[in-house]
């Protein structure tokens, strides 16, 4: 089986639980560390699927790797290679397929409930799940590209996920581990402090206090989504 390409855009925002899930399923994967200078592949044909992780940059920034990534996403979708995006990754997929990425009304940082949309596509992706506590860290949001079906929303961000067939874009983070949350709280301490007056921004202590209770459920939801996504891989 061809490996899955996982694109990392910041050292602290790796695949997290997704890597553990893929290893358990004995599905090969290859990390493409954009943050470490790895080149964007010229073609998606060597991979069974493409996954894009998060990052602190904007998809609207003038960065040299963004145009080839957008072209790679379009090629993958055109050739039926599944794509999956987390936060920045979801925004990259949205922009590549004709959506827009713009400032969200508020920054959303920390644990927050998301609700599953009442439609057949959402039920196919989420099964019996109707709501759950997702992890958030974003200041921008995506619109839905043509043909996309809305899957998730939160109180502070209407578009939390969409799907087009086997392709899934998430604004929230389902890949989190305890280590990632602690690291992000340290790296993002100034951002948390600046957003502290907002009800959409949690303190670092609150985020970490909720980890024990929320991470097992988040892992269940991630397993549901990742299981559905790998069913579409080219084998």
Sign of the C-alpha dihedral, residues 76, 80, 86, 88? positive
Q: From CA 126, how far away is CA 224, in angstroms rounded?
A: 6
- How is the chain split into domains, by residue range? 4-230
pLDDT of residue 235: 76
Fold that domain 4-230 belongs to in CATH: Rossmann fold (3.40.50)
Strands 29-33 and 101-116: unpaired
Q: Whole-angstrom Cα distance, residue 156 to residue 163?
A: 20
Task: Say how far apart CA 92 and CA 169 lie, in whole Å.
Answer: 9
At 196 the pLDDT is 86
- Record the pTM: 0.98
Residue 234 is predicted with a pLDDT of 77
Most distant CA pair in the chain: distance in Å? 49
- DSSP label at 201? B
**Tens place of pLDDT for every residue, the chain, 235 residues?**
999 999 999 999 999 999 999 999 999 999 999 999 999 999 999 999 999 999 999 999 999 999 999 999 999 999 999 999 999 999 999 999 999 999 999 999 999 999 999 999 999 999 999 999 999 999 999 999 999 999 999 999 999 999 999 999 999 999 999 999 999 999 999 999 999 889 999 999 999 999 999 999 999 999 999 999 999 997 7
pLDDT at 16: 98
CA distance 48 to 126: 22
């Amino acid at each position: 089986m061809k490996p899955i390409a996982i694109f990392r855009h910041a050292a602290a925002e790796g695949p997290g639980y997704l890597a553990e899930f893929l290893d358990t399923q004995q599905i090969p994967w290859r990390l493409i560390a954009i943050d470490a200078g790895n080149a964007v592949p010229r073609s998606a044909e060597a991979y069974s699927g493409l996954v894009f992780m998060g990052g602190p940059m904007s998809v609207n920034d003038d960065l040299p790797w963004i145009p080839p990534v957008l072209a790679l996403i379009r090629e993958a979708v055109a050739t039926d290679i599944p794509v999956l995006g987390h936060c920045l990754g979801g925004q990259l997929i949205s922009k590549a397929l004709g959506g827009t990425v713009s400032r969200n009304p508020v920054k959303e940082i920390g644990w927050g409930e998301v609700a599953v949309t009442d439609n057949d596509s959402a039920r196919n992706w989420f099964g019996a799940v109707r709501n759950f506590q997702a992890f958030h860290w974003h200041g921008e949001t995506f619109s839905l590209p043509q043909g996309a079906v809305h899957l998730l929303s939160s109180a502070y961000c209407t578009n939390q996920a969409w799907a087009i067939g086997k392709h899934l874009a998430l604004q929230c983070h389902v890949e989190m581990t305890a280590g990632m949350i602690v690291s992000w709280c340290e790296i993002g301490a100034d951002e948390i402090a600046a957003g502290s007056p907002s009800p959409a921004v949690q303190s670092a202590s609150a985020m970490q206090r909720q980890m024990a209770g929320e991470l097992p459920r988040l892992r269940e939801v991630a397993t549901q989504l990742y299981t559905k996504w790998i069913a579409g891989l080219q084998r």
